[in-house]
Amino acid sequence: EESKVLFSVIGMTCAACAGSVEKAVKRLPGIKEAVVDVLNNRAQVMFYPAFVNEETIRETIEDVGFQATMIK
Ligand code: 9UX
């Protein structure tokens, strides 16, 4: 069964930023969907916990260059 996680993502200033975050997260194994909302500084990710976890997703967002905090 899938899980859902919501991050605050600080530093995205244009739609292309959101696109690179989405792309990077979707490249991970076990990701069902990733939706990044640049206006509200949020990233919501649906994932399969057998394959990936919240911290790995968070670190992937950070690796793209943005500060990510799990909020839910
Ligand atoms: Mo837009 Mo984001 O020109 O790093 S891609 S600001």
The domain spanning residue 45 has which CATH number? 3.30.70.100
Q: Domain span at residue 56?
A: 3-70
What ipTM was assigned to the predicted interfaces of this complex? 0.85
Q: Which pTM was predicted?
A: 0.95
Query: What does 24-58 look like in DSSP terms, one character per residue?
Result: HHHHSTTEEEEEEETTTTEEEEEE-TTT--HHHHH
Tell which atom from ligand 1 comes closest to the C-alpha of 17. Answer: 2
Residue ID of nearest Cα to ligand 1 atom 4? 17
Report the number of distinct structural domains present in the chain.
Answer: 1
Q: What residues contact 23, with CB distance under 8 A and at least 6 apart?
A: none
Pocket test for ligand 1, best of 14, 21, 41, 63 (most atoms within 8 A of CB): 14
List pLDDT tens digits, range 31-59: 999 999 999 999 999 999 999 999 999 99
Please give the Cα distance from 61 to 19 (Å, whole number): 11
Pocket test for ligand 1, best of 9, 17, 23, 38 (most atoms within 8 A of CB): 17
Q: What residues contact 27, with CB distance under 8 A and at least 6 apart?
A: none
List pLDDT tens digits, range 1-28: 999 999 999 999 999 999 999 999 999 9
